[in-house]
Structure 1
Amino acid sequence: MSPKTITCLVGAMAFWAGPAAAEPPSPPSIVVSGEGMVAVAPDIALVTSGVVTRAQTADAALKANASAMTKVLAAIRQAGVEDRDVGTSGLSVQPVYEQPDSMSSERAPKLTGYEVRNLVSIRSHAIDRFGDLVDAMVQAGSNQIESLTFDVSDRETKLDEARRAAVADARRKAELYVAASGTKLGPVLSLEEQSEGYDGPVRPFAARAKMMDAAPATPIARGEQELRSRVVVRWGLQP
């Protein structure tokens, strides 16, 4: 390799290394995460309920289901639930087969009829009387209750409280660390919300139609929901 070639290579290396060497050092900083939580009582109940019917023909199963579902919807309206809070969440017509007695049997499954499943999702703000609504639906003909959950109407407002608490928690930790290290907390350089949401009671259950004329209303326990927020904050440090 000639002296001229070596000189060119050294010059090129110096050119590429120059900008990296000229970068200023990053200012001292501290990164701390904070969490905030607010416990609130739910004021909205959400339930998925409906009617499942079987018959030898699809037409007969569908007609029987329509008749029963009409009564269930009437009971829901009579309980004071508005039409905007009721919506169909599932409608299906499926064949029903009788399986062979033995797995090794060569006999094919036998068609025995059809099953119609019609489900509606209901939102109720009368959460204290929600047990009465469940009873009314079952008495009217509902034989399928798939899920029951709770929600908070002013969730964003409550989440704001959790967010403020999360930032305050991050600041508390940061001030503790900088005091222990002999420095001072500077301005906020970045703030990122990593997660938010709620952990609440979700109580799925199944119900079957039964005589409940003399029975008390179905008890419903809504509990509390914990609305949470988590943030990551980066502060500059001062000597």
Structure 2
Amino acid sequence: MRKLLMTLPFLLPLPALAQEAPRQITVTAEGQVTAAPDMATVTLGVITEGETGAQALAANSERMTRVLAALEADGIAPADMQTSGLSVSPRWRQATAAGQREITGFVASNMVTVRVRELGALGGVLDGVMKQGGNSFRGVQFGLADGSALMDEARRAAVAEARARAALYAEAAGVDLGDLLSLSEAGSYRPQPRMMEAAMARDSVPIAEGELTLSATVTLVYEIKDAE
């Protein structure tokens, strides 16, 4: 008897139906708050020269001792003073016609980073440092002792701006906003280049405090609903 062989096709899984892309509105917005600084960080110090490294360092140490004493006399706490750079290096004469270089002396440098918590005293502090032998200044950075409350204001402003913008986009697109699906933040804090003269004594170093801007950036993702 002849047998009939029937071959059944393999049943392959059907391709998964393409999932519909989520219907979302994503908005990124920034909130800003400006404030006057209430503290400053200054890097300053003494640079001296000598025929030997020991001479340069000894002269530097003598003047730096006076500088630190002047800072303490102006009310700077020891915890607000930190040595940030100490070095002794040779001073070289340019190469001669024979291509040789030679040491003509040594340079000693001692730098300290100082936090000044009373901005009204900043000009006088710098003036006192210079009178006691300070001859190197590497910038003043203004800041806030505690900016947490202001940062919260910036965060609220950022969320409000993002929410209003999302509502505007939804209205323009003819849809309704659904639930808030996610919220993420990236914060920043930067000086604002708008300057105001500080009230300093006329016989001290003039200082412009300016303003600081605290900013928070948030990204909100909303579900989209069809307009009812």
TM-score (ref. length: structure 2): 0.87
**Which residue pairs with 2:27 in the alignment?**
32
User: Shift of residue 123 of structure 1?
Assistant: 0.2
CA distance in 1, matches of 2:160, 2:88: 55
SS at match of 2:62: helix
CA distance in 1, matches of 2:32, 2:194: 18
Within a 5 Å distance, the mapping from 1:72-87 to structure 2 comes to 72-87=67-82
| Matched residue type, 2:9 | T
SS at match of 2:177: strand
| Matched residue type, 1:118 | N
**Which residue pairs with 2:118 in the alignment?**
126
Mark the runs of 5 or more structure 2 residues left unpaired by the alignment: 1-5, 196-201
Structure number having the greater helix percentage: 1
**Which residue pairs with 2:206 in the alignment?**
219
User: Shift of residue 200 of structure 1?
Assistant: 4.0
SS at match of 2:9: helix
Deviation per residue, 1:12-64 (Å, 9 max, x gap) = 4x35x2xx31x653442211111100011000111000000110111111111
| Matched residue type, 1:7 | P
User: Shift of residue 181 of structure 1?
Assistant: 2.1
User: Shift of residue 194 of structure 1?
Assistant: 3.4
User: Shift of residue 238 of structure 1?
Assistant: 2.0
Match of residue 157, structure 1, among 149, 161, 181? 149
SS at match of 2:71: helix
Within a 5 Å distance, the mapping from 1:49-60 to structure 2 comes to 49-60=44-55
**Which residue pairs with 1:181 in the alignment?**
173
Residue 43 in 1 paired to residue 22 in 2? no
Root-mean-square deviation (CA, aligned residues, Å) is 2.2
CA distance in 2, matches of 1:87, 1:167: 39
Mark the runs of 5 or more structure 1 residues left unpaired by the alignment: 204-214
**Percent identity among equivalent residues?**
36
Q: Quick one: structure 1 residues 202 and 90, their matched pair in 2 at CA, closer, same or farther if it must change by over 3 Å?
A: farther
| Matched residue type, 1:75 | A
User: How many residues are aligned here?
Assistant: 215
